[in-house]
Amino acid sequence: MKDQDAQFDSLLPPLRLDRRGFIATSVAAGFSLAAGQAVAQTAISTNADGLTAGKVDIPAPDGKIPAYRAAPQGKKGLPTLIVVSEIFGVHEYIQDVCRRLAHQGYLAVAPELFARQGDPSKYTEIPKLQAEVIGKVPDAQVQGDLDATAAWAAANGGDTDKLGILGFCWGGRQVWLYAAHNPKLKAGAAWYGQLAGEPSELKPKSVISLVNELKAPVLGAYGGKDAGIPQADVDRMRVALAQGPAAAKASRIDVYPDAPHAFHADYRPSYRKAEAEQAWTRMLDWFKQNGL
């Protein structure tokens, strides 16, 4: 899915801000409406038994970012994974991913990175969501909010020396960017994140153009039948990684030939159980191999 052009900015009404400078928003209850009707028979539901799980607020210079976190109950010094959502925000699927990771021994926290621009859970149409919210989010803002999330985690039971990140679709691209941004990051896992794209004011650099700046290795999971991410882009990225610095050379991209975009999204028709489970296991192994 691609962001709409910046031309939409001039067509939108002024945003209604609260006194802290943020739009009133929170983590979503249930599944995002814009994602379509959830497929009940495949949607995974992970309980919170033995976990501390729920909404938290992450301090930022201009307000507080709502987030969802899950962690083993009563534990501190935990390896930390930041979870970056799709364009649909921190809805039930992302919250469930956090609980799955917490059951693996991680402090998992998913910040609502669209908090300043709008509430994705209120939208029913993807084009409108893209134009009014997603297309107005600067990469620099996201990287700053991810830094704030890492700082919050370090002060709330996380181990500052064991920080990782994973993200899906829109969030998959942000994983690559954050691996080029934060020198303290141990590893990332990017699920079908955009690799190429024309630079813009809000998105000044593509993932491929940042390969030489990678500071942590990234595991990419991509679908061979992804209509939005050409295999030519994946091939170019692999070549760039092989020619890059140590963190780039240590990165890896796995392609699942028969999988479409969003093949891990178990609440959508795009879900592919076998590929999703294999990629999930590989991701957990990846984090362990990189000290998380």
The string of pLDDT tens digits covering residues 41-93 is 668 999 999 999 999 999 998 999 999 999 999 999 999 999 999 999 999 99
Residue 146: inside a domain: yes
The amino acid at 284: L
Query: Which domain covers residue 89, as residue numbers?
Result: 6-289
| Residue pLDDT, tens place only, 184-237 | 999 999 999 999 999 999 999 999 999 999 999 999 999 999 999 999 999 999
* Residue 226 is among the residues annotated as catalytic for this protein: yes
The amino acid at 63: G
Q: Which of 3, 96, 145, 226 is catalytic?
A: 226
User: pLDDT: is 146 or 42 the higher one?
Assistant: 146
pLDDT at 160: 83
Residue 86: inside a domain: yes
Report strand pairing: 218-223 vs 51-60: unpaired
Q: Which of 91, 181, 261, 264 is catalytic?
A: 261
Report strand pairing: 63-72 vs 51-60: antiparallel
Tokens 């999930």 — which residue?
280
Residue 115: inside a domain: yes
The mean pLDDT of 136-146, rounded to a whole number, is 97
CA–centroid distance for 242 within its chain? 24
Q: Which of 3, 145, 169, 233 is catalytic?
A: 169
Residue 124: inside a domain: yes
Cβ pair 58, 146 in contact under 8 A = no
Residue 195: inside a domain: yes
pLDDT at 124: 87
Q: How many domains are there within the chain? A: 1
The amino acid at 275: E
Tokens of 43: 């949607």
Residue 1: inside a domain: no
Residue 164: inside a domain: yes
Give the CATH number of the domain where residue 91 resides.
3.40.50.1820
Euclidean distance between CA atoms 48 and 31, whole angstroms: 18
pLDDT at 40: 57
